Amino acid sequence: MEKKDIIQSFKDSLFTGLIALALFGPIVGLRTVSKGEGLFITPQWGVVFLLVGLCILGRFLININSARRTEFKIFSTLSSKFSSITEDKAKHFAITGILFAVVFPFLPFTDRYFMDVAIMILTYIMLGWGLNIVVGLAGLLDLGYVAFYAVGAYSYALIATTFGWSFWICLPLAGVFAAFFGILLGFPVLRLRGDYLAIVTLGFGEIIRIILINWYEVTNGPDGITGIPRPSFFGLPFKRSPDEGETSFHLFFNLEYSTMHRIIFLYYLILVLALITNYFTLKIRKLPVGRAWEALREDEIACKSLGVNPTNTKLTAFAIGAMFGGFAGSFFATRQAFISPESFTFIESAIIVAIVVLGGMGSQTGVVLASIFLIGITEMFRDLEQFRMIAFGGAMVLIMVFKPKGILANRKPTILMHGDKK
């Protein structure tokens, strides 16, 4: 590296520092604080100088590195190795993963907290797999997926509290309702181009949330629905002291009563639901409609000229994705026993989309890895709630910039003409 280059990159870093000062100066440096009647300014110049210093240093290091062109090479070879390893052994990984998930509740270190986190991760995995049908296979960016999750949760809650039907009747009904909403929304908007679709689905998600908040007579508004029935083990409830003429789970199997029974049951419930979603996706990819989804994702015009009806094909993807969202929603409702519009904000949609995109659109294993990564990290940094979301958004940007196809890119069509030739 020549001296000229160093001076050049030094100047460049100073310029970066100037910009950073303009960015952080007013917003970070001058914090507005309400005191009594008015707003006052509390300066925080220390933080600003720290941030600006970091920016200058970071830029300088990047400049020096990019002159040598090493850093990015390392990054890309590492990641390509990573994806080739996992793609070869995807099957082994899947089997080990499922086995681990099955024995997980009985491992010695597993406690209540681990189970709760595991249930949450599995819920997101299921949502991710459901959305993967829409985003990964059919290539439709849906930013309002949480709407179907909400529809599923609310229809389960309303049916179960009004008619008192069991979980196993309400679950499919909730899925049907969610799929119906998917068709209702999809029918008019699916002929739109990708980015319009994203915004319209986002708007739809917000409409559902606003309706949930304001339609007080049915949804009980912002207070939400309480007392949603818990699921039972094929008719055996998880209660310490069952009602007259009823046998509860621990009495039937002659076990000591423990709240863990219900948690473990919920865990297996969501595990089975998620695996059904996965199995369904893997199978439907091999059917004509699954092939049509992938073909549409790759080239819509070619599909049209070959006689594929794009709107109907997209509609099936949308409805099926919505149905799985509805299943996950009813599981959420029965686990929490309480739902309110608070749980169905836009940020949930963003998290699910991030899981799918981060994992590599279309990759089932990627969704699992991304869910564990994102939710696990979130749990670890629970105390740093706000910084967590900055890191989350930043990760989305960084992954798009450095690896636009996700951790495990799987955009390979399931079948190619002329076999394995590239």
Binding site for other proteins (CB under 8 A): 19, 22-23, 25-28, 30-34, 38-41, 139, 141, 143, 188-189, 191-196, 198-200, 202-204, 206-207, 210-211, 213-214, 301, 346-347, 350, 353-354, 357, 386-387, 389-390, 392-397, 400-401, 404
Measured from the CB of residue 400, what is the shortest distance to other proteins in angstroms?
4
Measured from the CB of residue 71, what is the shortest distance to other proteins in angstroms?
14
Measured from the CB of residue 209, what is the shortest distance to other proteins in angstroms?
10
Contact by Cβ (8 Å): 323, 175: yes
Question: Roughly what angle, to the nearest 10 degrees, separates helices 346-359 and 112-132?
Answer: 80
Measured from the CB of residue 38, what is the shortest distance to other proteins in angstroms?
6
- Cα 399 to chain centroid distance, Å, stands at 15
CB nearer to other proteins: pick between 210 and 287? 210
Measured from the CB of residue 413, what is the shortest distance to other proteins in angstroms?
15
CB nearer to other proteins: pick between 126 and 350? 350
CB nearer to other proteins: pick between 372 and 396? 396
* Residue partners of 343: CB distance under 8 A and separation at least 6: 150, 153, 332, 336
Distance CA 319, CA 314 (A): 9
Helices (H), 89-224: 90-103, 112-132, 145-163, 167-189, 194-214, 216-219
CB nearer to other proteins: pick between 95 and 398? 398
Measured from the CB of residue 181, what is the shortest distance to other proteins in angstroms?
14
CB nearer to other proteins: pick between 313 and 334? 313
CB nearer to other proteins: pick between 222 and 227? 222
DSSP string, 65-120: HHHHT-HHHHHHHHHHHHHHHHHHTHHHHHHHHHHHHHHGGGSTT--HHHHHHHHH
Instruction: Look at the alpha carbons of 219, 221, 222, 225 in this order and tell me if their dihedral is positive or negative.
Output: negative
Q: Which two tokens stand for residue 305?
A: 């000229």
